[in-house]
Amino acid sequence: MLEIVCDESGSDGENLIGGNTDVFAHAGVRVAVEDAAAALVEIRDRVRSPAREYKATHLLREKHRSVLTWFLGPSGPPADGARVHLTDKAFFVVGRVVELLVGEQGRPPGVEMFRDPGVEEIAVALYRAGCRMPERARWRRFLIASNDMMRLRFRAEGTDPVEAFFQALDGLCPPGAEGEPAGILDLLRRNRSRAEVFRARIDDTPDLIPAMDPLFPAIVATAAHAHAHTNAPAHAPAYGQGHPVSLVHDRQNMLTEERIAWLTTALPLAGLRLVESWSDPRVQLADFLAGVARKLASDELNDRGDPELTALLRPHVDPLSIWADSRSGSLLGVAPRGGGRSAADR
């Protein structure tokens, strides 16, 4: 059995816009337990902090830069058996709303993102247009309303999340306006009935896999990458060859028994089990990688990246990460999405 051990950083559940971070990172590592334990000992020896539990923040301190460059480098513990799936939370929200209102009719957003390439192009165009808007408050209100309309745990008394979303949409650009992104918003506006059906469905079935939690697409991406490489040539720097793949994941409240059962049935997985991070040094190693990747990717997204650290992170980044900013994406090693200009002027 080939085990990929996972942890995440930047998780705010379905609260993607009002949370503390703008990037979600999900790391999967393939490493033996004894090797992970030895790596943690070496990290402690290099950092020399009295803290009982080390986190990515220890590696990210400027005084420990040499430890961080070693960790991310070719001789570091993750080596080539690691992959980080990144999610720009704002783009994730835009993508989910566009999937709902423009995607194939009758098919709600699934665990995978952008099953329709045309939907992806529209989402990328709307995201980039929103990032260029001079009045940032209107764009943020639209993102918050989009997030609220599609989250399972929306509980604002006396508020209709669908009505709030379309009011925020009109606030971005009134009906009949011209120019960017008026055409896209008019397309969304015409499909209000889809939003109402979706909202009624999740109100009636609260145990659905949440459309607004990037954890689930990240697990899908990790499983898909591992499975794709099980038949790779033996010399390839990949997860393995010809082995069934199982995921070991840090305990997460959103990963209920019912959702795990669905994931293991729907995905190419032999199993998915949850563990406490303190009990498995491999999870702690994944936690380091996810936390470091989240911070470095967020810095790059906001045009304050460190070129050396971004270059060291790049080999670990999943090219199919959920990312639409072309400038930062090209530096991080994310495959281009859509076309057009960068949102670097955010």
Residue 277 · residue 284 · CB < 8 Å: yes
pLDDT beyond 90 at 158: no
The alpha carbon of residue 231 and the mean position of all alpha carbons in its chain are separated, in whole angstroms, by 26
- pLDDT in the model for residue 30: 93
Binned at pLDDT 50, 70 and 90, residue 230 comes out as: low
Which of residues 119 and 105 earns the better pLDDT score? 119
**Per-residue 3-state assignment (H helix, E strand, C coil) for 241-279:** ECCCEEEEEECCCCCCHHHHHHHHHHCCCCEEEEECHHH
Nearest CA to 296 out of 311, 276, 286 is that of 311
Domain architecture of the chain: domains with CATH: 2-87+211-332 (3.30.420), 89-204 (no CATH)
Please compute the mean of the pLDDT values over residues 104-109 and round it to a whole number.
68
- For the beta carbon of residue 166, count every other beta carbon within 10 angstroms: 17
Per-residue pLDDT reduced to its tens digit, 12-24: 989 999 888 999 9
Contact criterion met (CB below 8 Å) for 189 and 126? no
Mean pLDDT, residues 223-228 taken together = 84
pLDDT above 90: residue 217: yes
| Cα–Cα distance measured from residue 284 to residue 54, given in angstroms and rounded to the nearest whole number | 9
Task: List the structure tokens of 283.
Answer: 């999870």
Q: State what percent of residues in the chain have pLDDT above 70.
A: 91
Task: Pull the structure tokens for residue 252.
Answer: 């997460």
Look at residue 50 in the predicted model and tell me its pLDDT.
86
Distance CA 112, CA 268 (A): 14
Tell me the DSSP string of 18-60.
SSS-SEEEEEEE---HHHHHHHHHHHHHHH----SS--HHHHH
| pLDDT tier, 206 (very low <50, low <70, confident <90, very high otherwise) | low
pLDDT in the model for residue 175 = 81
Supply the DSSP string of 59-101, one letter for each residue. HHSGGGHHHHHHHHSTTSSSTTSEEEEEEEHHHHHHHHHHHHH
32-59 tens-digit pLDDT: 999 999 999 999 999 998 877 888 999 9
In the predicted model, is pLDDT for residue 341 greater than 70?
Answer: no
**What are the tens digits of pLDDT across the range 314-339?**
999 999 999 999 999 999 999 988 65
Q: What is the mean pLDDT of the chain?
A: 88
Mean pLDDT of 3-31: 94
Q: Write phi, then psi, for 8 (nearest 5 degrees).
A: -130, 165
The CA–CA distances, whole Å, from 147 to 8, 136, 160, 298, 327 equal 20, 17, 13, 20, 25
Average pLDDT value for residue range 87-110: 87
What does the pLDDT look like over 265-315, one tens digit per residue? 888 789 999 999 989 999 999 999 999 999 999 999 999 999 999 999 999
Q: Give the pLDDT of residue 106.
A: 61
pLDDT at 318: 96
Residue range 249-275: average pLDDT?
91
Q: Output the CA angle 24-25-28, nearest 5 degrees.
A: 150
Determine the average pLDDT of the residues in 199-215.
85
Token pair for 185: 């918003």
pLDDT in the model for residue 229: 66
Tell me which range, 95-109, 127-141, 259-273, is most confidently predicted by mean pLDDT: 127-141
pLDDT of residue 235: 39
